[in-house]
Structure 1
Amino acid sequence: MIASISKSLSGMLLATCLALLAGCATGPAHYAASDSTKASFQALQTTDPELQAARFGAYAKAAGKSFIGTLPDGQLAACAYRWEIPGVVIEEHCRWPYNYLMAFQYNPENRKLDVYNLHANRAHIRELTVFPDGSVEWPTALLGLEPVSRVTLDENGALDRVFPGSGERIALRDVPRDEYESVLADARARKQFEEESKSRARIEFMQSITSGLRGVSAQLRAENEAKRQRDEQMRAAMIKAKAAEMQATTKRSAEQQRAATVESQRRRESDATAQQRATRSDGDKRSVGSITVTDDTEAQRKLKQRVAELERQAAADSAAQQQRLAERQAREEAAVAEFEKVRAKAAAENQARQARCAARGVPKANCSGASRQ
């Protein structure tokens, strides 16, 4: 029978909590704890149906049979029962929705059934009460999250489990072994299909994210390259305009200096002529001074030097811009590579988990599920 059903919590959460509590529970020793204990319990074995029913109630007639049914949440439930020691120990093996194995052991001292989780080192997890009418009561557990329930066997041979507090009910009908295995195989196939569909959806989602990151990275690189070209064009235009302005300023200064020199020379010649006339010189000799033009070679050299300095500064700025662009592109590519690494690690962990499940003989469909207790 299903060991834990809650109205408010899902089966997975209950199975996980039961497994945690089972690891900490203590109680009577399991019949196989020692040779002497096993011998004492084997001495109690019996094949008398009435005595078996008195000890195990509804579970006595379930031994040797397989049952399937539906949980309140709509999931399939599949459990089988067998005598480990006739009249003393019954094993319950539920294979769906969670795979777990439990043992119901008759306690001759208090005439109750001790329940052991065989997947948790045979930890004692519950004590069941068998009533004279054959019903078996499961006490509350998980701090009251799993309510009290009672198991009966109806006239059709179905195990009926009722939760009085919530009104929920689980009915497991007796089916032949081949139908039991067929239903399990169909459930595993459906679950595997769902898992594969989810896996494909996750892979497609990751691929879309990767593609989006690559597209964004390419767009950023294109925008950075366009910005770099615009900056270089603007810088070249500014350098050209500055050089033209300096050339025009130098030309105006040279022309002004030439005009001042000519004017000064003209005045000197005019003064000299006036002086010669004042001294009433008889000669008609005239002194024609030469016009001296200041050489502007030094100004041209300084202009060329300034232009070269501006060009060197522009080249240095362009190199720094290229380096910043390369560093930003490297960071983006590193982020994409890190994302790819995380995705590859997740895929490797999934494959390793599937390999571990295969090594333990756990079906692939049940690999992602938790232990029931």
Structure 2
Amino acid sequence: MRTLSILVLATLMIVGQAYSQNQKNKNSNKMNKTEQAEHYTFQLSDKVSREKVTFKNRYGIMLTGDLYVPKKHGNEPLAALAISGPFGAVKEQSSGLYAQTMAERGFATLAFDPSYTGESGGEPRNVASPDINTEDFSAAVDYLGLQQFVDRNRIGIIGICGFGGMALNATAIDKRVKAVATTSMYDMTRVMSKGYNDMVTLEQRSQMLEQLGQQRWEDAEKGTPAPSSRNLPKKLEGNEPQFIVDYFNYYHTPRGFHANSINSNGSWTATNPLSFMNMPLLTYIKEISPRPMLLIAGEKAHSRYFSEDIYKMAAEPKELMIIPNAVHVDLYDKVDIIPFDKLEIFFKEHLK
């Protein structure tokens, strides 16, 4: 089981506690989601309006998002941004903070819960897909482009953490997206299939897939997907890797906790890695060109190498920005560290 443990750790399925598979509890959780979602990890700005909206993706899954619009924006159509992430988070956390801040700077922004997550639809809960989650970004572009106050020729994307990779993939395939930026970017297909720093061997990968296959038999027999058994500890023992401590300090403290967030209060399914194991997400990264790409990573982030490697692979125009002394989660919510000035300049230059 050691290799499966390595895989689960590597996937950032960092969560608080295993969710119940009991259908009664699942129904209760659904009823409570609206109440839970009223909690945001940041204060609403008096410079913007926020409206809850819904829209369907190409697979018919109903997505829920928060639309932020600057209160003083005049009569001219606005440039717009679709924003999601981190992987396992919800719109009331980091993506909402980004959306609000960029709306304060003159953009119409949409922070959304991905399929199977938060207030968005999809069954079973707490699963992810590189294909469907890429489509979620394009569905957000659909929605934004239908708003009368949005210029559909001036739409960009911001992807945070694991949804940075999805954002790049969406931009590569969806030519309507005119510019893309990522912060603390993760390539989830790479880390799930190869582990951190590509340390998983072919033999270990084979063992992981054997174990995941056996888990499928168990899930099929029971009729419900089992939750992952490898979750963020309920308390820190003092011997955890620093990045685990950083995640804990975001998702399990008032700083970033949200009841709808998988990373705060749930668990991915045990077989969730399967859809990521055999699908290189960023195969077509060069097809983003000639549209611009901005990659932002912390100098001390354990994930920094993802952004650096993508920068090497991508075609111009591209830019890599390393934030001094910052770790991975600093770019989730630390407004004095997140380079919002740079993001504003980047998108105002390229969405015009």
TM-score in terms of structure 1 length: 0.20
Task: Return the structure number with greater relative CO, CA threshold 8 A, min gap 6.
Answer: 2
Structure with higher Rg: it is 1
